Amino acid sequence: MSKSNAVLLAVALVAIAAAAWYRQQVFQQEAPPTPPENLHVAFITGGSGPYWQSTANGAREAGEDHGVTVDVEMPADAESLEEQMALLTKLKPADFDGVAVSPLSAEDQTPLINRIQSETNLITFDSDAPYSQRRGHIGTSNYGAGAKCLELVNEALPEGGKVLVLLANLTKANMIDRQLGFEEKLKIRNAAVNDGDEPPPAIEVIEYLTDEGDSAAAAEGIRRTLAEHSDLACIVGMNSRHGAVILDTLKELDQLDKVKVIAFDATDPTLDGVKDGHIYATIAQDPYKYGYEAVRLLQSLAASASDELPITGGGTIYIDTEVVRQDNVDRFRRRIASRSAE
């Protein structure tokens, strides 16, 4: 072999080796980080009713599946900002590998959320604090859920009519977004009239009634509204408590089945009402999955070496809602029961 050919061969071998090394570096798949062992997280709900129990059940199940110790803390009173703030304030973030909370007042709690986040990973579930430094959020599009409520009102009231809308409060981001989605969908409906077309039958919202987590106040608001508007056609409840409150109050007033009901969430009394035909439909979230995914996300964050915060308002994992009616309520219940039995 001539000297020049030997040089060319050597150059070619070096080039081949370099190309092989480059391909290995480019295409080699790095193994995912191994989650640390013995993780310990705090899970703080917005109340202690069936909805919140379901989120806690999901969180505990995720803890068992992924080897995470989950401390569940629940305010005794529904929607009690004072109680939830006390739970968050006494929390020692350094003792936990992560914290999940469903904030009852995003604006008021953002400074505290940011302080906890500075010491450990914090995420929100169900309700959000989008302008905080939380690492992520597990929830649904509450704006979209509010719009779905209006679509169901359209179905239930083909001739239009007067509507009362119940809200737990207007401090939680999810309640604000549900009302906004409902209102804007109603505006679009009323504006969507082509030249020469008849306007749709009028849907008139009598009141957006907030009860601040007090079911007795919600019941009293229903009584007062029916006394003032005997032609009330529909009541929309946008909190998980409202289905049972509406049914009990309408039964008390002998108005059951005379007023259409649109509910929110899938508590047993609400699903019973759907099955019996007293509730036209309910919009079901998946609180169990909120809790499960919250713990799973905290485990993932603990395994990550990144300290980067998400873009403000970003980092949401969306879990869709579904409409439960009389014709699918039994299938819905079987599906939920089978998952809980696993």
pLDDT in tens, 328-340: 999 999 998 887 6
Q: Please tell me which residue, 3 or 299, carries the higher pLDDT value.
A: 299
Q: How far apart are CA 136 and CA 315, in angstroms?
A: 5
pLDDT in tens, 31-72: 555 556 789 999 999 999 989 999 999 999 999 999 999 999
**Six token digits for residue 319:** 């879990």
Q: Is the pLDDT of residue 12 over 60?
A: no
Q: Is the pLDDT of residue 92 over 70?
A: yes
Domain chopping of the chain, boundaries: 39-140+287-319, 142-284
Q: How far apart are CA 123 and CA 113, in angstroms?
A: 9
Q: Please tell me which residue, 6 or 134, carries the higher pLDDT value.
A: 134
CATH fold of the domain at 39-140+287-319: Rossmann fold (3.40.50)
Q: How far apart are CA 229 and CA 223, in angstroms?
A: 10
User: Do the two domains 39-140+287-319 and 142-284 of this chain adopt the same fold?
Assistant: yes
Closest CA to 59 of 49, 47, 69, 50: 69
pLDDT in tens, 259-277: 999 999 999 999 999 999 9
Q: What is the pLDDT of residue 200?
A: 84
Q: What is the pLDDT of residue 27?
A: 47
Q: Please tell me which residue, 122 or 4, carries the higher pLDDT value.
A: 122
CATH fold of the domain at 142-284: Rossmann fold (3.40.50)
pLDDT in tens, 294-318: 999 999 999 885 655 555 556 889 9
Q: Please tell me which residue, 2 or 95, carries the higher pLDDT value.
A: 95
The reported pTM is 0.79
pLDDT in tens, 14-33: 556 555 555 555 444 455 55
The Cα-based distances of 265 to 41, 149, 284 in angstroms read 26, 12, 4
pLDDT in tens, 175-233: 999 999 999 999 988 876 655 577 788 999 999 999 999 999 999 999 999 999 999 99
